[in-house]
Amino acid sequence: MNLKDLYSKSTAGMKTSMIREMLAQTKGVPGMISFAGGFPSPATFPVNTLNELFQEVVTESGSDTLQYGASEGDNELKKALISWENVSLDTDELLITNGATNGIYYFTRTLINPGDVILCEGPTFLGSVVSFEASGAEVISIDMDNQGIQLDLLEDKIKELKSIGKTIKFFYTIPDFQNPTGITMSLERRHDLIKLMQKEQILILEDDPYGELRYSGEKVKSLIEIARNEYNDKKIVTTVKSFSKILGPGLRMAYVMADKELIKPMCSWLQKVIVNPEGVTQRVVAKYISKGYLEEHIKSIREFYKPYQVAIIDALTKYMPNEIEFTKPEGGIFIWLKTKKDINFDELFSEIVKEKVCYIPGSKFYPEHYEQYNCLRLNFSYPTIEQIYDGIKILSEKIQTELSKL
Amino acid sequence: MNLKDLYSKSTAGMKTSMIREMLAQTKGVPGMISFAGGFPSPATFPVNTLNELFQEVVTESGSDTLQYGASEGDNELKKALISWENVSLDTDELLITNGATNGIYYFTRTLINPGDVILCEGPTFLGSVVSFEASGAEVISIDMDNQGIQLDLLEDKIKELKSIGKTIKFFYTIPDFQNPTGITMSLERRHDLIKLMQKEQILILEDDPYGELRYSGEKVKSLIEIARNEYNDKKIVTTVKSFSKILGPGLRMAYVMADKELIKPMCSWLQKVIVNPEGVTQRVVAKYISKGYLEEHIKSIREFYKPYQVAIIDALTKYMPNEIEFTKPEGGIFIWLKTKKDINFDELFSEIVKEKVCYIPGSKFYPEHYEQYNCLRLNFSYPTIEQIYDGIKILSEKIQTELSKL
């Protein structure tokens, strides 16, 4: 019996993660300076407060939180989130999920028939792309500029796809400190995007894992805030927010805000997939918010990461050759680097690893057939400040050498 | 924009849970005696020990357990499970999941193309059936006797399905204290089932949420124990086990044991759906096992439930008319009641609710088109001993009245 012969088509067609395989080369190498990660710094996890709250929750409400719970999520957590958020939300417009990817999965399951199109920014978060592709969707990316998605390109692509009879279900975006580029969509672009999607009757899925991690500049209103508060439109934007970069990804806590006619089927999928979110952790997060810890903690995380953001932008400015462009994000944990010159950063990867520096090649952040190779992602939440300067210097010199060969 | 028009086919075709709607009638009614539940008693949750362990885990390994973790599960939990289990397991033959349904979902996703057949016991656990149906599978149930699945019927059905070109991917079974019948598959039947499935090249999915809840009689070896230890076959049986009825369902902790060629694609699905299991809870469960608490705790749960099992069998024996047959499970939390007479327990439900007793009609535990109406499920982990006697008396009298009308 060959078990592989029994796999479903969608399983047999799944790609292995090239990122994982690439990073396997870098693991356990002493002295490796890694800009490849996407993990928050464990120094930002509020261990002591969480410890108190776990204790409080298990002791005070163990028989409740250890029992089966509501599939749509713990009511106390929902109440805390409703008072925390800047949009007015009914209880049935919220779904608690096992991390943001989990919410994105239910949204995709709710809407996608094989062959339907999902549009996204190019580059974008690979985890979402592979999840979209596994649903049988055709994933098409649209280029960005420094204000976010390029709406003229988006509109042309929609026209083209509709003319050949394609069904476009939604546009996926990470408007704040995007993964991998660090780009934040401008306010004007957000307004125009919403108006375009309303005209085209295509939903927007707003993924917001980094929005709270702003180290400079002014907050830009989220897409759901604009849609609900300024256009009185509850349907067009669905937003997924996560506690992974705030309290710790190990907690697997995220939530979805959407029209109740989307929350309802998403919740039906959740019932079939995880039955209900974890009870103790939900209540811990509820208390973390309702006791007022969250606001203070976010301030401290911003202060923690800011020096790293300052250092990497400073190091890049100092060391990178002029042929290299890089984003200057005001928050998040990623910077995007690209060049008009003919450098293939997939090929350079093994070379630079030998010099004990690693990044993720930009091509890994595009859906199949849309790959670009003249770009890469740098993470600045994992290396130390010293490593940032050292690593960027090594990387810059390597790139300089490559450029001189052209 | 009508959001419902955007639903995928599988979403639009999802059925609402009739059980939920039925039970809505019974909620908050003072004095209601409910045999309808499926929840473990919160008195069995080891609140104090869990409290200590949550504290220990967050304090000692917060930066580790609050971080992203391995998709296939925490290594310490895997180690604890490997030493706990009665089969020899490699690390890559284990997957930690967000509850048992979550593991079943990945197994189904790994194997099922729309139109493939899943065979199961009739009646069976509804949660699995709806999850199977949502994958596009055709779910077909086979009748049981008091030793479990009827193998002659199963073999005939397989022959019939194969002759019309159907692909049968797996047979789903709950061999110990089955939900909803309480039936435990006999040892002989287990051997014969494995041999039949080996011959037919059809996988077995063994769902084992209640196996540890044995109040009398002798443990019967699990299907995976028999397959691995006696037939040296790692492929034929995949087993899902859950901590929901032992430590508390709110923890959403379960695990899958399977051949590594099934664990690998299941883990790929897990990555797309939840990224990784919750970190803190996994480590808590690991410590619960490795510190030796689990064995003692299981003993205490058995002692806790036994009087309820004794009471309900006693009450049924005392009060039920002779026309009614019921199972006498040696463990678990359910009893199945049926009659050859023409009583429709779906119709009787609203009547009996008026007398402040409720159950779940048997028809709800069959896949579509296979419903039977002359049966019902009783749960005995939720009502008190007094309520068990009172409730069974009321139910018996009602059934007697119905019988006298025939």
- Spell out the per-residue pLDDT of chain A, length 406, in tens: 899 999 999 999 887 767 777 777 777 789 999 999 889 999 999 999 999 999 999 999 998 999 999 999 999 999 999 999 989 999 999 999 999 999 999 999 999 999 999 999 999 999 999 999 989 999 999 999 999 999 999 999 999 999 999 999 999 999 999 999 999 999 999 999 999 999 999 999 999 999 999 999 999 999 999 999 999 999 999 999 999 999 999 999 999 999 999 999 999 999 999 999 999 999 999 999 999 999 999 999 999 999 999 999 999 999 999 999 999 999 999 999 999 999 999 999 999 999 999 999 999 999 989 999 999 999 999 899 999 999 999 999 999 999 999 8
CB-nearest to B66 from A67, A203, A251 is A251
Q: What percent of chain B has pLDDT over 70?
A: 100
Q: Is the CB of residue A110 less than 8 Å away from at least one CB of chain B? A: yes
The pLDDT tens digits of the residues spanning B185-243 come to: 999 999 999 999 999 999 999 999 999 999 999 999 999 999 999 999 999 999 999 99
Residue B176 binned pLDDT confidence (cut-offs 50, 70, 90): very high
Per-residue confidence (pLDDT) for residue A309, from 0 to 100: 97
Q: Is the CB of residue B259 less than 8 Å away from at least one CB of chain A? A: yes
A residues 24-63 lying closer than 8 A (beta carbon) to B: 39-40, 42-43, 45, 47, 50-51, 54-55, 58-59, 62-63
SS (H, E, C) B50-69: HHHHHHHHHHHHHHHHCCCC
Per-residue confidence (pLDDT) for residue A19, from 0 to 100: 75
Q: Which amino acid, one-letter code, is at B14?
A: M
Nearest residue of A to residue B60, measured between CA atoms: A47
Q: Are the beta carbons of A84 and A255 closer than 8 angstroms?
A: no
Which residues in chain A are contacts of B261 at CB distance < 8 A? 3-4
Q: Which amino acid, one-letter code, is at A181?
A: T
Per-residue confidence (pLDDT) for residue B328, from 0 to 100: 97
Nearest residue of A to residue B169, measured between CA atoms: A6
What class has domain B15-44+296-405? alpha beta
With an 8 Å Cβ cutoff, are B66 and A248 in contact? yes
What CA–CA distance (Å, rounded) separates B20 from A48? 40
Nearest residue of B to residue A106, measured between CA atoms: B273
Most confident of the following: A25-34, A196-205, B17-26, B65-74:
A196-205
A residues 130-149 lying closer than 8 A (beta carbon) to B: 130-131, 134
Which residues in chain B are contacts of A69 at CB distance < 8 A? 250
CB-nearest to A134 from B50, B248, B272 is B272
What CA–CA distance (Å, rounded) separates B3 from A167? 14
Q: Is the CB of residue B251 less than 8 Å away from at least one CB of chain A? A: yes
Q: Is the CB of residue A194 less than 8 Å away from at least one CB of chain B? A: no
For residues B87-91, average pLDDT? 95
CB-nearest to A65 from B102, B250, B273 is B250
3-state secondary structure of B121: strand
The pLDDT tens digits of the residues spanning A193-218 come to: 999 999 999 999 999 999 999 999 99
CB-nearest to B280 from A69, A250, A279 is A250
For residues B46-74, average pLDDT? 94
Which residues in chain A are contacts of B70 at CB distance < 8 A? none
Sign of the CA dihedral with B77 first, then B174, B105, and B99 last: negative
Q: Which amino acid, one-letter code, is at B81?
A: L
CB-nearest to A67 from B51, B131, B249 is B249
Q: Is residue B27 predicted with pLDDT exceeding 80?
A: no
Q: Is residue B309 predicted with pLDDT exceeding 90?
A: yes
Per-residue confidence (pLDDT) for residue B21, from 0 to 100: 74
Q: Are the beta carbons of B398 and B172 closer than 8 angstroms?
A: no
Which residues in chain B are contacts of A235 at CB distance < 8 A? 1, 3
* Domain residue ranges of chain B, discontinuous segments joined by +: 15-44+296-405, 47-291
Tokens representing A50? 């969480």
Q: Are the beta carbons of A329 and A213 closer than 8 angstroms?
A: no
Nearest residue of A to residue B14, measured between CA atoms: A268
Helix axes B126-134, B100-111, angle to 10 degrees: 30
With an 8 Å Cβ cutoff, are B280 and A275 in contact? no
Q: Which CATH number fits domain A15-44+300-405: 1.10.287.610, 2.60.40.2130, 3.40.190.10, 3.90.1150.10?
A: 3.90.1150.10
Q: Is the CB of residue A203 less than 8 Å away from at least one CB of chain B? A: yes
Q: Are the beta carbons of A294 and A122 closer than 8 angstroms?
A: no
Omega cis (within 30) before A123: yes
Sign of the CA dihedral with A240 first, then A243, A245, and A249 last: negative
Q: Are the beta carbons of A229 and A87 closer than 8 angstroms?
A: yes
Residue B386 binned pLDDT confidence (cut-offs 50, 70, 90): very high
Q: What percent of chain B has pLDDT over 90?
A: 92
Residue A253: how many CB atoms within 10 A of its CB? 30
List, in sequence order, every residue forming a beta bridge with A257; answer none if it has no partner: A94, A239
CB pairs under 8 A between A and B: 237
Helix (H) or strand (E) holding A394: helix A385-405
Per-residue confidence (pLDDT) for residue A29, from 0 to 100: 86
3-state secondary structure of A205: strand
Q: How far is CA A316 from the centre of its chain?
A: 24
Fold for the domain defined by A47-291: Aspartate Aminotransferase; domain 2 (3.40.640)
Residues 6+ apart with CB under 8 A from A90: A260
Mean pLDDT of chain B: 95
Per-residue confidence (pLDDT) for residue A15, from 0 to 100: 75
Q: Is residue B20 predicted with pLDDT exceeding 80?
A: no
CB-nearest to B58 from A54, A105, A249 is A54
Residues 6+ apart with CB under 8 A from B136: B10, B112, B113, B114, B115, B116
Nearest residue of B to residue A116, measured between CA atoms: B8
Nearest residue of B to residue A65, measured between CA atoms: B250
Q: Are the beta carbons of A393 and A315 closer than 8 angstroms?
A: yes
Q: Is the CB of residue A235 less than 8 Å away from at least one CB of chain B? A: yes
Q: Which amino acid, one-letter code, is at B366?
A: Y
Per-residue confidence (pLDDT) for residue B28, from 0 to 100: 78
